[in-house]
Amino acid sequence: MLVAAADLAEQLADVALPQSDWKAAVRSYATAVHDVLLANPMSATVLVEIPLSGPLQLIEHFIEALVDAGFDAITAAYALEMVGDVTFAQARREILAQASDAYPTASDAWALVTQDHDGRFEQLRTLLADQRRAPRRLDTSFEIDIIIEGLERLKVNNY
């Protein structure tokens, strides 16, 4: 695992984040980590996070962008952790979906809800049928947007 972590950290060492736009910095960080994880599927499934001893300059720039925008360092660190969690989870889901040609757990759920004849899972059945017809593109945009909106709300409310 140490080799995998070092390899990921090395690939992220030269990533530059925009410093004047904290939202762009959050998105750029998430995209960079996501892309590196997808390029290293074995590492993405073994590691749960990129060790802080890895891409220190990238982490510093992420926190700096948020602090420069008016967030305190603790909030910036929480944001870093949330973005990392979302990015790792999404990369793992994408890797698993590529390996099985289905959204993780969707096949199991489909089998269970189609066996249900009591109509208890109508919403799940509709959702899964829609996903089978037009699979959802897996990306982190939605989750990152929620994190950014949450940070913006904290900023507006002087949290």
What confidence score (pLDDT) does residue 137 get? 55
Domains with residue ranges and CATH for the chain: 2-102+138-156 (1.10.357.10), 104-137 (no CATH)
Query: Tell me, what's the pLDDT at 103?
Result: 52
Structure tokens of 74?
């603790």
What pTM was estimated for this model as a whole? Answer: 0.77
- Encode the chain (159 residues) as per-residue pLDDT tens digits: 566 677 777 888 888 999 899 999 999 999 998 898 888 887 776 666 666 556 788 889 999 999 999 999 999 999 999 998 898 888 888 887 776 655 555 566 666 767 766 777 777 777 777 766 655 555 678 899 999 999 999 988 876
**pLDDT for 3:** 66
Burial tier of 36 (Cβ tally within 10 Å: 0-12, 13-18, 19+): buried
Q: How far apart are CA 9 and CA 59, in angstroms?
A: 11
pLDDT at 1: 56
How far apart, in whole angstroms, are the C-alpha atoms of residue 56 and residue 59? 5
- What's the confidence (pLDDT) of residue 26? 96
Tokens 């994190």 sit at which residue? 147
First CA to last CA distance, the chain: 38
